[in-house]
Amino acid sequence: MIYRRKVNFYETDAQGIVHHSNYPRYFEEARGYYLEQIGYPYERVREELGIDIVLIELSVKYKKPLFYGDEFEIDFHISHMDRFVFSFDYRVKNKDGLIAEGKTVHTCLDRKTRKIVSIPDILRVK
């Protein structure tokens, strides 16, 4: 799936580039877009299923910087899923090529008990 975005000024830092802490936020936006596209926006996951999706691992490799106003896309997909854990892989690209690669790993928690629950079927759609 492709999620498109443009760099906001407040995402830059005094090196003149996007601060690295924004990439995990971009990935989160992409996951939100994914849930919308499969018809199950995260608001519904939280309220109807009573589940919080939590992030347990994050990794990013930064290849080239992004600058204010840059248009970029995140090419991403679910790269792993078992009963309790699933992962997304991300490739951030713009017209100049690969900007960054990332991976996030997630589990689902019951919002009341804060215990891990098995991943709901609705998230298993390919």
Token pair belonging to 93: 């690209």
- Please, which residue, 107 or 126, has the CB nearer to its own copies? 107
Span near its own copies by CB under 8 A; candidates 6-14, 74-82, 86-94, 116-124: 6-14
Catalytic residue selected from 13, 52, 89, 96: 13
CB of 16 to its own copies, least distance (A): 5
Q: Which residues contact 113 (CB under 8 A, 6 or more apart)?
A: none
Does 57 sit near its own copies (CB under 8 A)?
yes
Which residue of 1, 38, 49, 62 would you call a contact of its own copies, by CB under 8 A?
Answer: 62
87 binds its own copies, rule: CB under 8 A: no
Per-residue x/- track, 35-54, its own copies (CB under 8 A): ------xxx--------x-x
Q: How far is the CB of 103 from its own copies (least distance, A)?
A: 9
Tell me how far apart the alpha carbons of residues 78 and 87 are, in angstroms, rounded to a whole number: 6
Q: Is-catalytic flag, 82?
A: no
